[in-house]
Amino acid sequence: MPKIDCRYCDKELVYKSTRDLPFFPFCSERCKLIDLGKWVEEEHRIEESFTPEEVNETDESKGE
């Protein structure tokens, strides 16, 4: 039987035909939606130029 790894979580999926996998090439609707959402997130991330370290420095300068 053919098998694939879920494109999002790498879970192994064994199937007789792609009809057995309604969310092919994902294991579930959740993985499919998350993977689609990831595309959107990555586009946002490119616009963010600061790192978490720089955010911490800003907090310290506030004098907490």
Q: How far is CA 31 from CA 26, 35, 39, 41, 47, in A?
A: 6, 6, 13, 15, 25
Centroid of chain to Cα 5: 15
E strand spans, the chain: 3-5, 12-14
C-beta of 33 vs 57, nearer to Zn ion: 33
Per rule CB under 5 A, count of chain residues that contact Zn ion: 6
Site for Zn ion in 5-64 (CB under 5 A): 6, 8-9, 11, 27, 31
Q: How far is the CB of 3 from Zn ion (least distance, A)?
A: 13
Q: How far is the CB of 56 from Zn ion (least distance, A)?
A: 34
Residues that bind Zn ion (CB under 5 A): 6, 8-9, 11, 27, 31
